[in-house]
Amino acid sequence: MTDNPLLEPWNATFGAPPFSKVRLEHFRPAFEAAIAEWRAEREAIKAAPASFETTILGLERAGQTLDRVERVFGHLVGTASGDEIEAIQREIQPRLAREYADMLLDDALFARVEAVYEARNDLDAEARRLVERRRLAFKRAGAGLASEKKQRLAAIAERLAALGAAFGQNVLGDEKAFALVLNAQADLAGLPDAAVAAASAAAQERGHPGKWVVTLSRSSVEPFLQFSARRDLREKVWRAFVARGAGGGTRDNGAVMSEIVALRVELANLLGYPTFADYKLDDTMARKPGAALDLLHRVWTPARAAALEEAKALQAMIAQEGGNFELKPWDWRYYAEKRRQALYDFDESAIRAHLPLDNVLAAAFDVAGRLFGLIFEERHDVDLPHADARAFVVKDSQGRHVALFIGDFFARPEKHSGAWMSALRDQHRLDGVSTPIVVNVLNAARSGEGAPALLSHDEARTLFHEFGHALHGMLSDVTYPYLSGTNVARDFVELPSQLYEHWLDRPEVLSQFARHHATGAPMPDELIAAMTRARAHGQAHSTVEFLASAFTDMKAHGLTEGGDIDVSALEAEALAALDMPSAIVPRHAAPHFQHVFSGEGYSAGYYSYLWSEVLDADAFEAFVESGDVFDPALAERLRRFVYASGGTLEPDKAYAAFRGRGPDPSALLRKRGFA
């Protein structure tokens, strides 16, 4: 098809996808053509004698057209969703899952991979690693099993893909459907100027000019819960937020979750594992569910105790104000913020005023320059997927092209909630140099007309977090696509992102980039000091809500039998067993737990954020101990063994090569203020 931009060579600036030419009607024929091409390429591999070049590198080269189409489609599903693209997703996602399953369950293809694996000792280290990882993917998919088992595994993969798409679409549907319209000044009581401006911008976007709107984007909900003096409205927003994907209507995810969990149990059993958690963790640093659970419990005990103490303090504040009600989840952030201001002379709105989005982005770029020698230049000649998106060419200190970075930072009704990194092209050197095109998506709230978007400290940290993922993709320095960038163990992939967050709060960074949006004045030293003192404040709450979700994930995926599974009931059982504080709820209740149910990514793997935090806390202590958080020798080892190595090394070996030893788990407790 010469008239389909998805199938034509991408000759735009930096080889970026031709987004301006792509229409939704291009996707179905593009997928058809790309799948047919991939099938033919696999047949050619099977027709050739087994060798590293024909088999393994054949697999590396096969499916490149499909890969490009998938990446463009996946980006638009996440950032420009609507009825038509959701219909295509419901059709194509199961089809692709079945196609990938068929490839990995192909006996003739696996026999050739196995032959190369047996002769792998003649290869260099990176090539051996590629062969081992490729073979492992076949084995974990069910290669070598009896025909009936393989057929069932392929059917399960296809059905899980359909269910994952439905789950995410249900959550997004609930988010689109809700808008709390504020009609009067009294409805704005307690809200700082930045939150009012964001609500005004959201109202304009939602068709309510002259009013204010709170949406179910986290960047809208959390400031409202933190500052609104209207308890009745806080409750209304909170209930809508936690009810996403629930409620018994057409978008209720109860049956979807039940079938997902049951199918995952069956999949694990077919592959010889007692539980899905055993299956998923077998190829991670943790290895066994027990190791992940041990870490979760180790942190749960001090976090819960600290949360209960804080709950008492917040209840006392309510009483002091004359309130005659029990602390509820929709009260926690409001009174925690008041307590933080009282204890530390800390004003979150003052912090936000000094964190314009552009300044925080410039800070992220500057840290990358000081650590890794990267230079970022904004470009306006790149074909971008949305008017909000921005493009930056990335160069090294010698002026050589490294990557293209695209940022899409603002919330929109058609965007899925949350923040993430993806790649439109991976780095590799298989057939010439392929430089990466990396994307960060955030959901920051817009400010009023002509005013800069102001970030909370948490939102600024999220920007740094996702940019850490972006650096993992941009700094990748490997030969083979399969080992590129973030293609690493799930409980290692968060190390580059979580580690990068540490530099946001350094005085060396804040003094330069934390500047008042109106005056340009730097953040006062006393405000920085107050923010530093208050850093541990709220850690108990955020840790407990995170752990609650992680325990739910492990409980649901620790089942040994399928059947009719009530996942929300399992969640309630898990929380009861933990004696969950009554005024805190999981960060992601099961019906909208997209990390776990919108796809396989973090299923039985939400714990990995905490596992990686052990690594990031210990890793940053190395910089602190050196006396220079930009220490060149440490930064070079970090680049070489963490950000650049992709999947070429076992994660524990990669970490030890950087740190000189394994991680110290107590660093996590120190970071969270529990030690």
| Active-site residue list | 466
SS3 state of residue 561: coil
Q: In what order do the strands lie in the sheet with 375-379?
A: 375-379, 390-395, 401-410, 437-444, 420-425
User: Rounded distance, CA 326 to CA 182, Å?
Assistant: 26
What's the sign of the alpha-carbon dihedral 224, 466, 597, 34?
positive
Cα distances (angstroms) measured from residue 581 to each of 285, 348, 576: 30, 25, 9
From residue 95, alpha-carbon distances to 75, 124, 258, 478 in Å are 18, 36, 22, 31
Residue 474 φ then ψ, to 5°: -75, -35
Burial class (CB in 10 A: 0-12, 13-18, 19+), 529: middle
Beta bridge partners of 434: 428
Instruction: Please count the other Cβ atoms lying within 10 Å of the Cβ belonging to residue 5.
Output: 21
CA–CA gap between residue 17 and residue 4 (Å, rounded): 12
Residue among 206, 217, 207, 209 at smallest CA distance from 240: 217
The beta-carbon contacts of 66-71 under 8 Å, at least 24 apart in sequence, are 66/31, 66/34, 66/35, 66/37, 66/38, 68/6, 68/10, 68/17, 68/34, 68/425, 69/6, 69/7, 69/27, 69/30, 69/31, 69/34, 70/96, 71/17, 71/422, 71/423, 71/424, 71/425
Q: Are 142 and 150 a contacting pair, CB within 8 Å?
A: yes
| CA 165 to chain centroid | 17
Residues 94 and 346: their CA atoms lie apart, in Å, by 50
Q: Which amino acid is at 511?
A: S
Q: What is the DSSP code (8-state) at residue 488?
A: S
Alpha-carbon dihedral sign for residues 576, 579, 581, 582: positive
Q: CB-hemisphere CA count at 13 Å for 173?
A: 17
